[in-house]
Amino acid sequence: MFTVRPYKKEDAAACGNCFYEGFFSCPMDQNDKILLCDYAQILIEKCNFTYVAEAEDHQVVGFICGKYDKHFSKALSAQYETKKHYGRWCKMFLKFYLKRYKMSVPFQKQFDAFFRQLQERDKESFGKCDLELVALSSRRNYRKGLGTALVTQFLNRAKADGADRVRLFTNTLASWEFYEKRGFKKVAEKPFQDGSGNQSLVYEYVLKEHEYEKHHL
C-alpha cells in the first residue's frame, strides 16, 4: 500500500534517490547523491505540481510531476506548489559545467548519456498539450502498483483542473510499455541523432476520450 500526497521540500533527497534508481544502474557516491538531490529539486520546482508516494514505513519511494502549457491556462502555468529557486538552477548548472560536483567516473558517464537523451526532445516533435507529465520515477523494490498509483493521482489532478490532453516524452531505452498499458498512445517517434537506432517517443493520454470509453463499454 502507498500513500500519495503533495511534494514537500523536505522530500528532495528521497526524490533524488528515486531518480537514481529510476534512471541509473552504476554505484553512486556521496558527491553523486548531492548532484541528484539538486537536480531532482530543481526539476520538481520547474513543474506546477508534484506528488510523492510514501510506503507503509513512511519512506518516499516515488514521485510524479507535471507542467501546464501556458496556451492551455496562463493561470495554472504560472502557479506553483513549491517556491521556485532560479538562483539554485543557475548555481547548479554553473557548478556542473565547471565540474565542481566531483562525480564518480561511472556515474559521470551515465549522467552524460542521460543528459544527451534529454537533448533529443524538440518542441516540434512533442507538439501541443494541456499538461506535460515531466517525470515519473520510483525505487526499484517498491514498483508493483506504485507507478499506477502515481499516474492515477496525476490524471485525477489533470481532470480536476480541466485539462484534457496529457503528453510525455520518453524513449526506447526507458519503460515506455508501462504507459501503453495504462492507455497512453504513441503520437510521435524520432530516431536518436547519434545513429544508435534508439528512438525518442511522445505519448498522449486524452482524458475525454477515456471518459467516453468508460461510460459506453
What's at 156, amino acid-wise?
Answer: N
Task: Determine the distance from the C-alpha atom of residue 35 to the mean position of all C-alpha atoms in its chain, rounded to a whole number.
Answer: 17
Report the alpha-carbon distance of residue 43 to residue 33 in Å, rounded. 15
Q: How far is CA 125 from CA 70, 128, 187, in A?
A: 18, 9, 9
Answer for the pair 2, 58: CB distance below 8 angstroms, yes or no. Answer: no
Domains in the chain, number: 1
Per-residue pLDDT tens for 51-92? Answer: 999 999 999 999 999 999 988 888 888 887 666 666 677 777
Cβ neighbours of 137 (radius 10 Å): 22
Q: Coil, helix or strand for 122? A: coil
Residue 185's DSSP bridge partners are 204
**H or E element, residue 151:** helix 146-160
- C-alpha cell of residue 205: 493520454
- C-alpha cell of residue 82: 513549491
What is the span of the domain harbouring residue 135?
3-216
Per-residue pLDDT tens for 163-196? Answer: 999 999 998 877 888 999 999 999 999 998 887 8
- 119: exposed, middle or buried (Cβ count in 10 Å: 0-12, 13-18, 19+): exposed
Please report, for the domain that includes residue 178, its CATH number: 3.40.630.30
Per-residue pLDDT tens for 99-155? Answer: 778 889 999 999 888 888 888 888 888 999 999 999 999 998 887 889 999 999 999
